[in-house]
Amino acid sequence: MAFMKKFSFELEKEDGKARIGKITTAHGEIETPVFMPVGTRASVKTASPDEVKDLGAQILLGNTYHLYLRPGTDIIKKHGGLHKFMGWNGPILTDSGGFQVFSLGFGSKNRKNERLVKIKDDGVEFRSHIDGSKHFFSPESVIKMQKEIGADIMMAFDECAPADADHNYARKAMERTHRWADECIADNEKIKPLYGYGQSLFGIVQGVVYKDLRIESAKFITNRNFDGIAIGGLAVGESEKVRNEMIETVMPYLPKDKPRYLMGIGFPQDILNAIERGADMFDCVLPTRLARNGTLWTYEGKLSILNAKYSKDLNPIEKDCGCYACQNFTRSYILHLVKESEVLGIRLTTIHNLHFMMRFMEDIRNSIKENKFEKFKKEFISKFS
């Protein structure tokens, strides 16, 4: 049985190192640079899939770790994949679960003084954060789950070492990541897609904050037949300066004709810094998580809607914003809703922040088309920070 691969990337234009491109998947096209809203548990928190689509989201991210634990990939498979389960017909990217396994368990020990995460050469044994039950993720199981989920873009299983790991440990984690990358490629050949469309696979560059390791990892991963290259292990505690250095270190080794995904980055300044250095894809829970705490992003900067000064403010969240929240409701009303824990409040703040992100990414793409990215970046940051 042959499946159409249905994945391609076309680099359309560069402005300095910033680039615009187009990814084609079985569930549609994606213009890059792109921000991917996070739907950890098969839902972008508070929003319906139709709202997310109407906001202009081109692709969503799902979390293999969470979906594996609940509802379980068997239930998703029974629905014919995550797209059908959650009612989202656009492209989906799933992480490999590696980040969650390590970040949820790293350094943690149970009452018997046992590590909650045991890293072995063939995979990772860990305990569920929900009920403490024991589980094992391997390159093969992670590919199998992502096939069952039916992600358009799957991620290789990697070890995401913490930002303060020493060079010795960082090398070990990187080498394990490389072995697992090769295993994932082999498993991807072996395990066929279940739903009649091809699924692509991205490799992940690791190496913590060590330039030599980052270069070695970039060379290794780009030398494999991945459909796209991710930079992992950043935004985990390192400084902005170090983060930018790591991106600059890796980028020259990445092929121009593959998309570059900087994992877990979502703060506007960080996205601008990364695009300036050649990154194409981003994901982060920050815009939606902050929204639920009442923190809103606008082109004029951040605001906390719970600030008492907005209690009688009849303006929208942001003056020239076209989102449903800004077109229909006042700051005063939204403050009231969020303060009273009315669900509509966090729905409206989520809609605003996601709309902001979509508008922000579109403005970035337009600025690159017009060779004005640096100007856009400078003007944006002068108001936002």
Q: Which of 95, 152, 227, 270 is catalytic?
A: 95
Q: How far apart are CA 71 and CA 122, in angstroms?
A: 25
Which positions from 324 to 353 touch its own copies by CB under 8 A, shown as an x/- string?
x---xxx-xx--xx-xx-xxxxxx------
Output b/e per residue, 61-95; b: 16+ Cβ within 10 A.
bbbbbbbbbeeebeebbeeebbbebbebebbbbbb
283 catalytic residue (yes or no): yes
Paired sense of beta strands 228-231 and 260-262, if any: parallel
Does 92 bind its own copies (CB under 8 A)? Our answer is no
For the CB of residue 128, give the shortest distance to its own copies in the complex, in Å.
Answer: 14
CA distance 207 to 318: 41
**SS percent in the chain: helix, strand, coil, step 5:** 45, 20, 40
By CB under 8 A, tell whether 86 contacts its own copies: yes
> Is 166 a residue of the active site?
no
Cβ proximity to its own copies, 47 vs 275, nearer residue: 47
Smallest gap from residue 312 Cβ to its own copies (A): 6
Residue 155 in contact with residue 93, Cβ under 8 Å?
yes
Which CB, 138 or 350, lies closer to its own copies? 350
Residue 194 engages its own copies in binding (rule: CB under 8 A): no
Closest by CA to 204, choosing from 139, 145, 267, 257, is: 139
195: left (phi over 0), alpha (psi -120 to 50) or beta: alpha
Residue closer to its own copies (CB basis): 229 or 351? 351
Is the CB of 39 or the CB of 232 nearer to its own copies? 39
C-alpha distance across the termini of the chain, in Å: 53
Q: How far is the CB of 370 from its own copies (least distance, A)?
A: 36
Cβ distance to its own copies smaller for residue 70 or 190: 70
Interface with its own copies, residue 43, by CB under 8 A:
yes
Q: How many residues bind its own copies (CB under 8 A)?
A: 35
Considering only 5, 6, 17, 45, the residue that binds its own copies (CB under 8 A) is: 45
In 3D space, the residue among 198, 199, 265 whose CA is nearest the CA of residue 231 turns out to be: 265
The binder of its own copies chosen from 4, 13, 28, 75 (CB under 8 A): 75
Nearer to its own copies among residue 304 and residue 332 (C-beta) = 332
Near its own copies by CB under 8 A: residue from 312, 319, 369, 375: 312
| 309 lies in the binding site for its own copies (CB under 8 A) | no
- Taking CB under 8 A as the rule, does residue 293 contact its own copies? no
Cis peptide leading into residue 33 (ω within 30°): yes
Query: Hey, what are 222's tokens?
Result: 């780009």
The dihedrals phi and psi of 92, each to the nearest 5 degrees, come to -130, 135
**What residue ranges bind its own copies (CB under 8 A)?**
41-43, 45-49, 70-71, 75, 78-79, 85-87, 311-312, 314, 324, 328-330, 332-333, 336-337, 339-340, 342-347
Catalytic residues: 95, 283
